[in-house]
Amino acid sequence: MSLKALMYHNIGKPPKEANLKSLYTNPKLFERQIKTLKMLGFTSITSNEILDFLNGKDFKKRVCITFDDAYKDIFENALPILKKYNFKAIIFVPVSLVGDYNRWDFERVKVKKPIACWEDIRQALKEGFEVGSHTMTHKALTDLDDKSLKQELELSKKILEDKLGIEITTFCYPYGDYDDRVANAVKEAGYKLAFSVNSGHIQKGDNPYILKRLHMRHNTNVFRLLLKLSILYR
């Protein structure tokens, strides 16, 4: 049996002028998706259980819900729904942009999307959600020299650990951009797992530094969700 990790970005309605509207999931649709998972008997897992799975433990009907970029709308619109259905999630934080906005792509997407503040993140942790690193500045890591790469990986981990008082073990590649050198640097920096944007289920024997996910888009209705969860999906 495989594990399914779901990848979300924004939970909310896109502003009219926004590009890349496919990154937004309407909160009503999000609730239908979570409700469907609950009805099907799925429960949620975070990084510890994924490690256990990769190390041989069997799990049935488990999903790992992930949010890239730690947008404020996740904390306002998604976490209350997840709490209602007793689901956990992992939130990936671009550390130098906490309390700021999506400086890396606001020109391209034509909208400044607020990123959560430390207080939001602390509160989510208290409520049982997991936090992972999404680098310092959300740069494409394969473009960086070894020194800048190391800084993006190690400093983001250290700041999260200092600010939150927990160990940070999970990482997510900005733009899903990685190669062997980058994946190796993630391991060297002390992370145990890293999520890509490669599409598919997580299988036993997968590389823990190239975890696949299912892309949740604006039009992922319940039928499409079921298709993505099915054994036929690649």
* Residues of this chain that bind Zn ion (CB under 5 A): 68-69, 174
- Amino acid 170 reads T
Q: Give the residue nearest to Zn ion (CB).
A: 68
Task: Write down the least CB distance from residue 174 to Zn ion, Å.
Answer: 5
Task: Write down the least CB distance from residue 104 to Zn ion, Å.
Answer: 8
Task: Write down the least CB distance from residue 129 to Zn ion, Å.
Answer: 17
Nearer to Zn ion, 59 or 175 (CB): 175
Nearer to Zn ion, 31 or 68 (CB): 68
Nearer to Zn ion, 46 or 133 (CB): 133
Task: Write down the least CB distance from residue 9 to Zn ion, Å.
Answer: 7
Task: Write down the least CB distance from residue 45 to Zn ion, Å.
Answer: 21
Nearer to Zn ion, 49 or 177 (CB): 177
Q: What is the rounded CA–CA span in Å between residue 114 and residue 75?
A: 11
Nearer to Zn ion, 14 or 174 (CB): 174
Quick one: how far is CA 176 from the chain centroid?
Answer: 11
Q: What is the rounded CA–CA span in Å between residue 210 and residue 86?
A: 27
